[in-house]
Structure 1
């Protein structure tokens, strides 16, 4: 009897026959994935992970750098497929109507335990500024300025809402808009000089280890409870998970921790890595994550996803 030789390709084919539709090829219309990236390092990091996985699975990824408002419009109009950065509850006012109407879809929470509210250096907190209600008594030391990030950002809008409502006596304060990098440069310079500054802070982010900062209480009505406690969700255009089920499965699996994102962001900010190179380095150091992230996921040609990605990344 002649022994039967099974090649790797043959084994994949046999596996596909054995498991049926789960190993079907991905339709051509689903093989290009357009991801929104809004200029925040945490979303650069998570988008870098997603695009690295998708590229290794044989997809074509198109990362579109855009603003938060334009991201929601792009999802609604079908020009963007995936956004990994819906911070809730701070973005609720920008997205709730679209979610309720079904114009866009919320897939899952991809990060729990985040924070998003105003912060001050610890030396300002030690001097008595621990709540938003404490700011105005020290307006001269703060220069009556609150530093935000890019125009159109939800956090900036919440700060402006506080000012417009004269909440906490901050009606005569000014919002200073710039960018994540610009705000952090200003904050870092003030912190090193032990000057007083109040700015928009969040976790995960390396700012939490580079500067000794304190998250202010009192902003629950604006930033959410528990000192700006936040959850980050994955959004897609309407119907994506149904029409592109393999991609939908991966997005349903994809979740992060604050510690993971801190490591990824440090690679980008501290070591000059691209989002994709930081993601590749992190995945190589934590290969077991692939078995969770790619459970039930295939390549575009229908082969098992996790082994293909491990091979592509040299694992």
Structure 2
């Protein structure tokens, strides 16, 4: 995974598809400029998992892939400028402001995951001590040191928390949002739990935190994170026009749908995202029939048998 620099690649130009002729019929190959597919990743393990699935399949199909580690705001700018082809981590409604801002620069491919949770969470022993709702936080200000641990700077969820503080909702006007990356936040959670101290942080599912920590989600945050503990969907986006420019990659992205169980299993692995994705697919080969329906390799041959053969060699 690379961090995208300020000198970014230009928008790909649209080319003519070549033809691959065999067995008495012709199959359209993807235009040459579509062979490299770029993805954005905010550094979240769940998006690492879905990117891992997509890149594993694309490489087996003869494509080159690159995943750039970008904050959400920078990632959307990359899509706008044509530097990023696809983003598989559009959490809704948390990223609604970005969708409104960049609506003319993106295409929504599909919802790739449902049943997601995204709201404030605490360790179970804190929950058992009486912190079960957003309204309970202020009574334990001293124990929490008036801090809420958020994710990377610029994330919409952090802004929601800051808006909550600025409005003095739940009596939290003197509290502070601690912005940091996902891993830094979780390291703080782990250290705090080890000492049996109080901490409140942004939690979500799918994520291995739900398995690694005995944690509980807080009720009462519907005005900021939505009902059902911030119940959300995750969508796949592409830059504007990409689906018509690179229809075969677009077909694959349109087929890719995931489940909470699948993602929890992949992100709970000790392997790299691509290794974990490949291992999961090999253990569940039945998903390929749906994911690769109507999809070809870069050269235009049916993808299913090629991908299966490629995975068997890993």
| Structure 1: distance between partners of 2:111 and 2:223 | 22
Pick one of 190, 199, 217 that aligns with 1:197: 199
Q: Under a length normalisation based on structure 1, what TM-score does the superposition of the two structures give?
A: 0.90
| Structure 1: distance between partners of 2:125 and 2:312 | 47
| Structure 1: distance between partners of 2:193 and 2:213 | 7
**1:285 aligned residue:** 283
Per-residue CA distance 1:257-298 (angstroms, 9 max, x = gap): 01111111111xxx2x21111111111111111111110000
Report which stretch shifted further, 45-54 or 23-32: 23-32
Q: Secondary structure at the match of 1:197?
A: coil
**1:123 aligned residue:** 125
Pick one of 39, 43, 56 that aligns with 2:43: 39
**1:161 pairs with 2:170:** no
Q: CA deviation at 1:141?
A: 1.1
Pick one of 13, 20, 29 that aligns with 2:33: 29
Q: CA deviation at 1:37?
A: 1.2
**2:273 aligned residue:** 275
**2:12 aligned residue:** none
Q: CA deviation at 1:97?
A: 3.2
Q: Secondary structure at the match of 1:150?
A: coil
| Structure 2: distance between partners of 1:27 and 1:182 | 41
| Structure 2: distance between partners of 1:140 and 1:305 | 58
**1:8 aligned residue:** none
Pick one of 61, 65, 68 that aligns with 2:65: 61
**1:171 pairs with 2:169:** no
Per-residue CA distance 1:182-233 (angstroms, 9 max, x = gap): 1111112222322111000000011111111111111111111111111000
| Structure 2: distance between partners of 1:95 and 1:136 | 33
Runs of 4+ residues over 6 Å off in structure 1: none
1:218-237 to 2 correspondences below 5 Å: 218-237=220-239
**1:310 pairs with 2:314:** no
**2:85 aligned residue:** 81
| Structure 1: distance between partners of 2:284 and 2:228 | 31
| Structure 2: distance between partners of 1:157 and 1:50 | 30
Structure 2: tracts of 5 or more residues without a match = 1-20
Pick one of 248, 251, 254 that aligns with 2:250: 248
**1:7 aligned residue:** none
Aligned residues: 293
Q: Secondary structure at the match of 1:313?
A: helix
| Structure 2: distance between partners of 1:26 and 1:178 | 40
Structure with higher helix content: 1
**1:212 pairs with 2:214:** yes
**2:4 aligned residue:** none
| Structure 2: distance between partners of 1:153 and 1:32 | 28
**2:107 aligned residue:** 105
Q: Secondary structure at the match of 1:163?
A: helix
Per-residue CA distance 1:33-77 (angstroms, 9 max, x = gap): 111111111111110110110011001111111110011111111
Choose 1 or 2 for highest CA Rg. 1
| Structure 1: distance between partners of 2:101 and 2:178 | 29
Q: CA deviation at 1:96?
A: 2.0
RMSD: 1.3
Q: CA deviation at 1:80?
A: 0.5
Structure 1: tracts of 5 or more residues without a match = 1-11
Q: Secondary structure at the match of 1:299?
A: coil
